[in-house]
Chains A and B, each alone.
Chain A
């Protein structure tokens, strides 16, 4: 088995958010299969820089699958073909010698392309601002063991809290909906006793913000779940809906 492969990379280039953008093709040879996808882009960028060309901009930081900063669409799929894998954890052993790989930014109306593959996802922060927290000021907390949380509830909350906010769910959704992202946060907090007091209000407020920001509606296509690098389940969306309906029943407005 050969360790090194050659690939043809068709990569999206866009100078800034007002530029129209276009695809550009590059041949890469002698790419080790042990390289991560981002390291392959590093190699491309070193070549481009040495040649005096502009390297490809792409977001990345921890390169161990947890910060949520990286993410592009690879061959039509957010974070590439592997299940439960961020782009930085995708390795070139996934690809065959001679393969053509198309790389594009995450596309959604609320995600502006800043340059090449880097997009602005601050709209996800805005959804969190609308209620993705428990209102607990520093200092007033009771002893941590004063609140009992059944183990299965803690585990379930953890599963939802594992979201890394990368935006793959939005990029994968035909409607560019942020339902999975929003639902994961609402579930995480609603499943815990600490989060219950605000849970109905939280759901109403976060969903409203999501709509305002121009994210689409959920069409139950489940593409988000399929592409989520942390494999967040769409049952979270069902839970969001429950919390949302509760908020409508209980609302004084």
Chain B
């Protein structure tokens, strides 16, 4: 199938302007005649719901938690990028665009990324107007910092809780529209399927997580804002409820899944400490602005850090990347940590950790200054590990954090299914093979506040719509299938718990399709996932019934989909016979052990098409054309 990205013609900086002009408008009086379903209430979902409702559309918004304010955007710590150039240090729309394209190792679509950089400034304006308490300088102007590999200070932040503050802003805008009657809010709902009528997305089937009722909802369009699928790895920094099911159901209904193997491993997380561990906690990489990463020079050195003299420490990021030092991009920092541990220089009880040391910064700036910047992060570290990072260096290790892959979307953020739009982390669009720090919040809000309000209007104005009701056959069929799937899970009544399967799946993926990959491991993983999935359907134990509050059943459904997605990720990784960004295939590396891209053969987006149960998914390619940047080997030396 030919993938039409619908990228507007013309010079890069005029494309979005042109698109906005070319998109038809819905008459203000007609907007109330259109119903839009938004699934998810993170930054993308909440901002989209609020903005669409403000325009006059009828919005139905669903979230899996008890309140839209819980969505996992809330946990983002470090900040949000914008090309305001308030710091007067050389930033511009073009530089933010270039950094994002380069950071993504040239595997993102130019036009989308440029638009993201263009609207980034408006996001900050909007958030300030909503009362987001960003950090300020003494004069009352907004403060900026450099973040995660950027050489300009373009990151706006609210201590270490930027995601929380931005989400509360979007949530309050959403609740204002709920109060105005323009948004109907349905919390504690899980989307079980997408409903298609005459080839278009016209609604969804949900499960009420309190009483188990299967419900159908119709609309003129569906906006999926359901986040990423990092939880496939069992241990990740994602919230416990983060899952792929909504996206995966859409994949089965014809939405292509793009670059599924692009998974970001975040370098600064608290190391794993035991088998019972349920999730990993990220320490904002803003810490790398002041913390220095090191390991002992000598393998097997088990002395406590305070007893290792300066001369026997290896500040390996500063040594290997003199110009970026501790601020190299996430994938580079993560891989280096893994390599050091592989050389038996890892620290801590398990040997799977490196130090992040603040002693220099505390000596230089004083305890109070460091506390002001990172107080809550230090407190969190202390709470989790029982260790005081003001006195001892932190221990960190990489963990699965974000998925750049997601449902394929065109320039208008519409998937290959007509009427199904995908926003935020759930789509694949802007980060290529690696996301820069402080760019996820930017993308979620760009999609929700400033892109979907225009592109949704275009879709609704350009098409004519039959009347559809949630009572018609397409809905009852989908609801029936959803019920059967639930019953099938409950009927297995085997011996192993859902979490037990999930943990094993996660381990297979982490070992073989994680920070670095190689063809032989990937081949092996395919077989392991397939047999694990087979066992799952014969031996999983899901207690209780479908007609009640049943958290085991919720997890079982999600893990069932992870089992299938895992295979797709591995196939995607195998098909991409190069290294790029997060996708580091050991068979393709430079002499310096950096990712070796193959632009001649792999400069495309992999968009996977579902072909039916037990059939091989088909790989479609959207070629990436770079007219405004030169493809270079990333170098952070």
Contacts and interface: CB of A to CB of B under 8 A. Distances in A.
Interface of A: 15-16, 32, 34-36, 38-39, 42-43, 45-46, 48-50, 52-55, 57, 59-69, 82, 84-85, 89, 91, 93, 114-115, 118, 120-122, 124-125, 128-130, 132-145, 147-151, 154-155, 157-158, 161-162, 164-165, 188-189, 192, 194-195
Nearest to B279: A63
A158 B133 contact: yes
Given A54-B544, A61-B70, A134 B130 contact: yes
Given A46-B500, A65-B383, 13 more contacts: A34-B274, A39-B277, A42-B499, A45-B552, A49-B541, A66-B75, A84-B379, A135-B176, A138-B126, A150-B136, A151-B137, A154-B134, A194-B131
A136 B74 contact: no
Interface in B229-288: 237, 239-241, 273-274, 276-279, 281-282
Contacts of B140: 148-151, 154
Contact of B165 (A128, A136, A161): A161
Could you say which of B141, B161, B168 has the most chain A C-beta atoms within 10 Å of its C-beta? B168
A54 B135 CA distance: 47
A89 B383 contact: yes
A161 B168 contact: yes
B128 A91 contact: no
B175 A141 contact: no
B276 A53 contact: no
Given A49-B541, A134-B129, A61 B497 contact: no
Contacts of A150: 136, 140
28 contacts: A16-B548, A61-B65, A61-B239, A62-B75, A63-B278, A64-B279, A64-B282, A64-B380, A67-B70, A67-B74, A67-B239, A68-B67, A68-B70, A128-B171, A128-B172, A138-B51, A138-B126, A138-B453, A142-B129, A145-B86, A154-B135, A154-B140, A155-B136, A165-B67, A165-B69, A188-B131, A188-B133, A194-B131
A81 to B, nearest CB: 13
Contact of A66 (B68, B164, B173, B548): B164
A52 B165 CA distance: 42
Given A43-B276, A128-B175, A66 B74 contact: yes
Given A61-B72, A64-B75, A148-B140, A189 B383 contact: no
Interface string B493-536: 00101011000000000000000000000000000000000000
Closest 4 CB pairs of A and B: A148-B140, A133-B172, A141-B129, A141-B125
Category for how many chain B residues contact A: 35 or more
Nearest to A194: B131
B173 A138 contact: yes
B130 A194 contact: yes
Nearest to A164: B164
B124 interface: yes
Given A62-B239, A194-B131, A138 B47 contact: yes
Given A32-B274, A134-B172, A60 B240 contact: yes
B457 to A, nearest CB: 13
A57 to B, nearest CB: 6
B557 interface: no
B142 A145 contact: yes
Contacts of B121: 144
Contacts of B499: 42, 46
Contacts of A137: 54
Given A143-B125, A147-B128, A121 B67 contact: yes
Interface of B: 47, 50-51, 54, 65-72, 74-75, 84, 86, 121-122, 124-131, 133-142, 158-159, 161, 163-165, 168, 171-173, 175-176, 178-179, 185, 187, 210, 237, 239-241, 273-274, 276-279, 281-282, 379-380, 383-384, 386, 449-450, 453, 495, 497, 499-500, 541, 543-544, 548-549, 551-552
A179 B31 CA distance: 39
Could you say which of A49, A93, A147, A192 has the most chain B C-beta atoms within 10 Å of its C-beta? A49
A208 B141 CA distance: 35
B128 A35 contact: no
A55 B453 contact: no
B126 A136 contact: yes
B549 A141 contact: no
Contact of A69 (B70, B171, B500): B70
B66 A122 contact: yes
A125 B274 CA distance: 37
A136 B126 CA distance: 8
Given A64-B75, A89-B383, A194-B131, A55 B543 contact: yes
Nearest to B68: A125
Given A62-B239, A69-B70, A147-B128, A114 B210 contact: yes
B129 A55 contact: no
Nearest to A163: B168
Contacts of B379: 84
Contacts of A49: 497, 541, 543, 552
A161 B129 contact: no
B164 A189 contact: no
Given A34-B274, A46-B499, A161 B279 contact: no
B184 to A, nearest CB: 13
Contacts of B544: 54
A222 to B, nearest CB: 22
Contacts of A53: 543
Given A129-B175, A134-B130, A136-B129, A38 B278 contact: yes
B131 A195 contact: yes
A86 to B, nearest CB: 9
Contact of A192 (B133, B279, B282): B133
Given A62-B72, A144-B128, A42 B54 contact: no
Contact of B175 (A85, A132, A164): A132
Given A39-B276, A154-B135, A158-B158, A133 B173 contact: yes
Contacts of A67: 65, 69-72, 74-75, 239
Nearest to B132: A161
B165 A133 contact: no
